[in-house]
Amino acid sequence: MSPLPPHADPGTPDARSPGRYLWWLLWKQPSRVFLGAFWGIVSSVGIASLPFFMGKAVDEGLRARALEPLAWWTAGLILVGGVNAAANILRHRTMTHVRMDASLRTVQVVNRHAARLGSVLARRVSTGEIVAIGASDAKQVSHAMTSAGPGVGSVVACVLIAVMVLSISPLLGALVLVGVPAIVLSIGPLTKRLQRTESTYREHTGVLTARAGDIAAGLRVLRGIGGESLFASRYRRRSGELLSEGYRVGAVASWIHALGSGLPGLFLALVTWLAARLVAAGQISFGDMVAVYGYAAALVLPVAFFIEAIFDITRGRVAARRIIGVLNLEPAVTDPAEAVAGPVGPAELYDPESGLRVPARRLAAVATADAESAALIVERIARYTDSDAAYGGVPLSDMALAEVRRRILLSGNDSHLFAGTLRDMVSPSGDIDDATIGTAVRQAAATDIVEALPDGLDTEIDAQARTLSGGQRQRVRLVRALLAEPEVLILPEPTSAVDAHSEAAIAEGLREHRRDRTTLVLSTSPLVLDRCDEVAFVEDGKVTATGTHARLLNTEPGYRALVLRGAEEEGETP
């Protein structure tokens, strides 16, 4: 039997359609599914055989006033009841494991794919959508798995009961054979409507969850600009729309559940009435009528289950469609068919499209007024998009993605800060000593942050460090980047949210920490640019001049205007 989750390898999901995904979840645990089906069959056969024992006890025991046959048939009833109880326990336990596996396997494959997508995920799927998948869709998918075990047992029970009733009366048997499928098919139109309303409700849920997260994350800013009430009113309106959609889903679901409970009861009454008429006509015995009543009563469970299973599968398909929507997203970059090893040791980074060359073992900078061009350059040389950029003459697109990520680190101001202690936040691997962390903290001008926290490095910080200011978060990210010790470090605007004093300290600390290692900074701050070995001035996405900060100030009017403008805005002098 397959082990319980989490799995070392959850497998490659079949994301071609919702139905195929649900089928894949089943076939990833075949032994457990077959065992659930086996116990479902045993349980259903037990339920179906109870009326047989009851009928025999009435005809051969009570009516004949024979104590011995009555005792034997009663003992048989007790034995079948005990076996049936044990089978139900084992079936429920097995199917609980099936549901758990499906739910947690779904979470695993979605999380794995999210990690593979990287920054692409945030641009294509909202945070609320991912949260909704983990919180509700995985659960809905797991409930659809229930039909695998009891479903097989219910089919066997219906067939067995139909055969039993046919042996008593062909008329009653025909009624069972026709009535059960008719009851199940009668809710078909409702399931289509449920799928439509459930899809709309699920879409609204994702949007509203994302909006709630955005409001919570930006509450401080919203209060500062007086936008709290506006965003709250928008959230209230969308919440009302979601409530209305929920009522629509509830209305359809209530009809399905009502029919699931009511139609089998009406069917039972019809079969019992017809059996009583046949007894009165002398066509079947009184014991046969008791047995037919028992068979019809036993049919209530599988028929109700079929209706419930249709309901769960319909909702499971809706959830699976949202899940495979994420699983079918493709990352911006993938591994080449045959990866080529990168250069041995540090080497020059080169971006042919812009003409940028980042010399090895130097502190270089890019200065530009065009933030979009700067972002595109960074994406190319860090291989967050495929291009002709090369590292030591080796095209980045030919190198294994894992090697590129290990050797080249892009640390932006929007990179995620995971919840935990400050120590864990800046050293996710947990294998860096306090002395090394302290040095990086000093070089990132973050000593005041650590000293202000009640427990220093051991202070618990929430996700994205929302309790810290923008400048503090920026310095925490810089500490983490320095401690990563990559071969190449790329830092877009690492001092944009700090004051001039901290900026000067960071520039000096960065130069100290990254001595003899390749570092690229994107900045227009003269305090940073003056400490760089080489600066590339970019206009319209192309490098138009390179040199030291002092040289470019004297020879490039555009560069001088850009830097002096930034200096005037910050109250600095070049």
342 occurs within a structural domain: no
Please indicate, yes or no, whether residues 269 and 391 belong to a single structural domain of this protein.
Answer: no
Q: Which two tokens stand for residue 283?
A: 């066509």
Which of the listed residues 297, 327, 357 is the one where a domain comes to its end?
327
| Residue 156, H or E segment | helix 148-168
Residue with the two structure tokens 């003992």: 75
The pLDDT value recorded for residue 178 is 82
Rounded CA-CA distance 47/358 in Å is 76
Residues 320 and 371 in one domain: no
CA distance 367 to 539: 9
Residues 6+ apart with CB under 8 A from 96: none
Residue among 95, 469, 563, 515 at smallest CA distance from 309 = 95
Domain count across the chain: 2
The Cβ of residue 274 has, within 10 Å, a number of other Cβ atoms equal to 16
The answer on 155 and 45 residing in a single domain is yes
pTM of the model: 0.70
DSSP of 212-237, one letter per residue? Answer: HHHHHHTHHHHHHHT-HHHHHHHHHH
pLDDT of residue 228: 64
- End-to-end Cα distance, the chain: 70
461, part of any domain? no
- Judge whether 335 lies within some domain: no
CATH of the domain at 266: 1.20.1560.10
Cα separation, 272 vs 229, whole angstroms = 63
Three-state secondary-structure class, residue 24: helix
Residues 135 and 216 in one domain: yes
Select from 525, 469, 520, 468 the least CA-distant residue to 496. 525
Residue 371 lies in a domain: yes
Structural domain for 391, as ranges: 349-417+482-570
Residues 313 and 375 in one domain: no
pLDDT by residue for the chain (574 residues), tens only, comes to: 566 677 888 899 999 999 999 999 988 988 888 888 888 888 877 777 777 777 777 777 777 777 887 888 888 888 888 888 888 888 888 888 888 999 999 999 998 888 888 777 777 877 767 777 877 888 889 988 877 777 777 777 778 778 878 888 888 888 877 887 888 777 778 877 887 887 787 777 767 776 666 666 555 555 555 556 766 777 788 888 888 888 888 888 888 878 877 887 888 788 888 888 888 888 888 777 777 777 777 777 777 777 778 888 888 888 899 899 989 988 888 889 899 999 998 999 999 999 999 999 999 999 999 999 999 999 999 999 889 999 999 999 999 999 999 999 999 988 888 889 999 999 988 889 999 999 999 999 999 999 999 999 999 998 888 889 889 999 999 999 999 999 999 999 999 999 999 999 999 999 999 999 999 999 999 999 999 999 999 999 999 999 999 999 999 999 999 998 745 444 444 4
Q: Are residues 303 and 383 in the same domain?
A: no
Q: Which amino acid is at 85?
A: A
Strands 420-421 and 408-410: unpaired
Does residue 229 fall inside a structural domain? yes
CATH number at residue 559: 3.40.50.300
According to DSSP, the β-strands at 408-410 and 488-492 are parallel
Residue 480 burial (10 A CB sphere; 0-12, 13-18, 19+): buried
- Pairing of β 390-391 and β 420-421: unpaired
Res 421: pLDDT = 93
Domain's final residue, options 278, 293, 327: 327
Output phi, psi for 454, to 5 deg: -60, -35
pLDDT given at position 3: 67
- Asked if residue 322 and residue 401 are part of one domain, the reply reads no
What's the Rg (C-alpha) of the chain?
35
Residue-level pLDDT at 573: 45
Task: Flag whether 344 is in a domain.
Answer: no
> What one-character DSSP code corresponds to residue 363?
E
Q: Are residues 272 and 362 in the same domain?
A: no
Which residue has tokens 């040791």?
345
312 and 358: one domain?
no
Query: Which residue's structure tokens are 């062909």?
Result: 170
Same domain, 308 and 362: no
In a domain, 465, yes or no: no
Q: What is the DSSP string of 76-131?
A: HHHHHHHHHHHHHHHHHHHHHHHHHHHHHHHHHHHHHHHHHHTHHHHHHS-HHHHH
- Report the C-alpha dihedral over residues 269, 274, 276, 277, rounded to 10 degrees: 150
Say if residues 465 and 497 touch (Cβ distance below 8 Å): no
Closest by CA position to 103, among listed 171, 6, 177, 247 = 6
Question: Domain for residue 8, yes or no?
Answer: no
Residues 247 and 187 in one domain: yes
User: Are 116 and 179 in a shared domain?
Assistant: yes
**Distance, CA of 459 to CA of 236 (rounded, Å):** 35
At residue 295, the pLDDT reads 75
